[in-house]
Amino acid sequence: MKCTNFRLLSLPIVLITAVYIVFLALTLINGYQTLVTWRRVNSIKQPYSKDDSIPFSIIICAHNELGNLQLNLPSILNQNYASFEVIVGLDRCTDGSIEYIQSLKAGNLTSVIIKKTPAGWNSKKYVLSKCIEKASHEWLLLTDADCQPASGNWIKSYALNIHNKINLVLGVSPYQQSNRLTSFITEYETFMTASRYLSAAANKSPYMGVGRNLSYTKSLYKSINGFEGIEHITGGDDDLLVQKMVAHAEVSINIHPESLTYSAPERTWKKYLTQKTRHLSVGKYYQEKFKQKLSTSAVLHSSLWLSFLYLIGFSDTIWRIIVPFALLVLIKGLFFKKIATKIGTPLRLIWYPILDLVYAVFLPLIAIRAMLERNIRWKK
């Protein structure tokens, strides 16, 4: 390949050439990864079981979330399902949440009231552990106070995924759409996260779920001694727990449209950064094999965009960069739309190249911040 068309500035021609070769290689790798993700996600089958009589214990943790409980709890209590109980873990609540729960007359609703978190425990994990202890049924189904099921058949969709030796069911929990920039970024990041962990699970290598929509058996939880070893970590009640469960789990994936739960994205940059810092800080506790795989994927993705931007700034033959990159954007856009439709997550296709750049460059910076941050909490 001739490099005489590159504007060298003060940089040696060999460096420009090397970056271009790396760029082409990363373009091919990124396109291949997209196709692999689609193939795996597309292989996820519909539910196998026809037994919708399995009893469930629904667990919800809340800390001063009276408004969310009033908004979302009725849709859970009124699920179109025969046998289930709802356990609300109230963590140091001072906003009227306790009185609200106690005022409800639902016979299948109970609460666990936590006034103080013991030393050495993350508050949410402690509430969860106490709710699980109280659960009457073998199957547990977890969500958050700010989440609302997509339909009245949310529980039923999980029951239909339980067959043979299944003891862990992974669900999807998109964020509600809004026109705020934080919402755009949150939606895309949620789509990318979901497509990756579902792809890994479909490939028999699950590494996470989302606590907003996750189900497992009490027996599986007990077999790994619950949160033992990770009880002090802020976050990880879903991904770190799933990683502990992997060796003992038979996994099913629930992507039925009625299985989704929705929550509102953070509305301010400060709250968004706090939330993402908390989520990403858990990564340093991942098992080494998962940490290496995810880190490699993130580095390759970031390097693709950085090499693209670098070459755009130093090349006179723009078409050599634009043509392969535009082809990649087209392929990814096509298959991203298919994946998003399959798993039920929103994707603003027209904005996705910009959001992909943000995801590749901005989120790694938050991840670095998260790794250095020490004072991270679930709720104050």
pLDDT digit string, tens, across residues 116-146: 999 999 999 999 999 999 999 999 999 999 9
Burial of 311 (0-12, 13-18, 19+ CB in 10 A): buried
The pTM of the whole model exceeds 0.85:
yes
Residue 289, pLDDT score: 92
Residue 181, pLDDT score: 85
Number of neighbouring beta carbons within 10 Å of residue 349:
11
Three-state SS for 13? helix
323-355 confidence digits (pLDDT tens): 999 999 999 999 999 999 999 999 999 999 999
174-207 confidence digits (pLDDT tens): 998 888 888 898 999 999 999 999 999 999 999 9
Comparing 220 with 298, which gets the higher pLDDT? 220
Q: Who contacts 319 (Cβ-Cβ below 8 Å, separation ≥6)?
A: none
Q: Who contacts 230 (Cβ-Cβ below 8 Å, separation ≥6)?
A: 125, 236, 240, 241, 244, 285
Share of the chain above pLDDT 70, in %: 92
232-290 confidence digits (pLDDT tens): 998 889 999 999 999 999 999 999 999 999 998 877 777 777 777 766 778 888 999 99
Instruction: Estimate to the nearest angstrom the gap between the alpha carbon of 70 and the chain centroid.
Output: 25
Three-state SS for 175? strand
| Residue extents of the structural domains in the chain | 13-43+289-372, 56-173+210-267
For the cut 90, the answer to whether the pLDDT of residue 227 exceeds it is yes
Q: What are phi and psi of 344, to 5 degrees?
A: 85, 20
Residue 364, pLDDT score: 76
Q: Which CATH architecture has domain 56-173+210-267?
A: Alpha-Beta Complex (3.90)
DSSP string covering 262-330, please? EEPPPSSHHHHHHHHHHHHHGGGGS-HHHHHHHHHHHHHHHHHHHHHHHHHHHBS-THHHHHHHHHHHH
For the cut 60, the answer to whether the pLDDT of residue 167 exceeds it is yes
- Give the mean model confidence (pLDDT) for residues 62-79: 96
For the cut 90, the answer to whether the pLDDT of residue 366 exceeds it is no
Q: Is the distance from CB of 270 to CB of 262 less than 8 angstroms?
A: no
Q: Is the distance from CB of 197 to CB of 208 less than 8 angstroms?
A: yes
